[in-house]
Amino acid sequence: MGLMRFLVAPANRISAEAAQRAYMVAADQIPWVTRTLLKDGVLSVSRNESDSGCLVFPLAIEGRGEITLTTGTLVERFQPYNLLVELARGKVLQVRNQIWDWQGIGLRPKEAHLAVLRQAHVHLAAAVTAQQDAAIAAGHAELAIRAALEVSDLIAGRYVGKIVNARRQRTPQLPTLLGVDLGHRPIKSDVLRRVRHAFNSAAIPLSWREVETQEGAYRWDVYDRQIDWCRANKLKVIGGPCIQFDNRSLPDWLAIWQGDFENLTSFVSDYVETVVHRYRGKVDVWQCAARVNTGEVLGLGAEDRLRLAARSCEIARRLDPKTPTIIRFDQPWGEYMGREESDVSPLHYADILIRSGIELSGIGLDLNVGYWPGGSYLRDPVQCSRLLDRWAVLGLPLWIFLTLPSGQGPDRRAYGRAKPVGGDAPDGWTPAAQRKWLREVGPLLVAKPAVHAIIYNQLRDSRPHEFPHGGLFNRAGAGKPALATMARLRRKYLS
- Tell me, yes or no, whether 191 and 163 share the same domain: no
- Tell me, yes or no, whether 228 and 125 share the same domain: no
Could you tell me if 33 and 384 are in contact, meaning their C-beta atoms sit under 8 angstroms apart?
A: no
Q: Digits of tens for pLDDT over the chain (495 positions)?
A: 688 999 999 988 998 899 999 999 998 889 999 999 999 899 999 988 888 899 999 999 988 888 999 999 999 888 999 999 999 999 999 999 999 999 888 888 889 999 999 999 999 999 999 988 998 999 999 999 999 999 999 999 999 988 988 888 888 888 999 999 999 999 999 999 999 999 999 999 999 999 999 988 999 999 999 999 999 999 999 998 999 999 889 999 998 998 889 999 999 999 999 999 999 999 999 999 999 999 888 888 889 999 999 999 999 999 999 999 999 999 999 999 998 888 789 999 999 999 888 889 999 999 999 999 999 999 999 999 999 999 999 999 999 999 999 998 889 999 988 999 887 666 789 999 999 999 999 999 999 999 999 999 999 999 999 999 999 999 999 999 999 999 999 999 886
- Tell me, yes or no, whether 128 and 248 share the same domain: no
Report d(CA 205, CA 239) in Å as an integer: 6
The H-assigned helical ranges of 363-461 are: 381-392, 431-447
Could you tell me if 207 and 243 are in contact, meaning their C-beta atoms sit under 8 angstroms apart?
A: no
Label residues 90-124 b or e (16+ Cβ within 10 Å = b): bbbbbbeebbeebeeeebebeeebeebbebbeebb
Q: Write the secondary structure of 329-360 as one string of H (helix), E (strand) and C (coil).
A: EECCCCHHHHCCCCCCCHHHHHHHHHHCCCCC
Residue type, 347: L
Q: Which domain holds residue 306?
A: 173-493
- Tell me, yes or no, whether 183 and 86 share the same domain: no
SS3 54: strand
- Tell me, yes or no, whether 60 and 193 share the same domain: no
Identify the H or E element spanning 451. strand 451-456
Could you tell me if 70 and 56 are in contact, meaning their C-beta atoms sit under 8 angstroms apart?
A: yes
Q: Is the peptide bond before 10 cis (omega within 30 degrees of 0)?
A: yes
Number of domains, the chain: 2
- Tell me, yes or no, whether 11 and 125 share the same domain: yes
- Tell me, yes or no, whether 32 and 87 share the same domain: yes
- Tell me, yes or no, whether 28 and 143 share the same domain: yes
- Tell me, yes or no, whether 372 and 396 share the same domain: yes
Closest CA to 23 of 14, 34, 15: 34
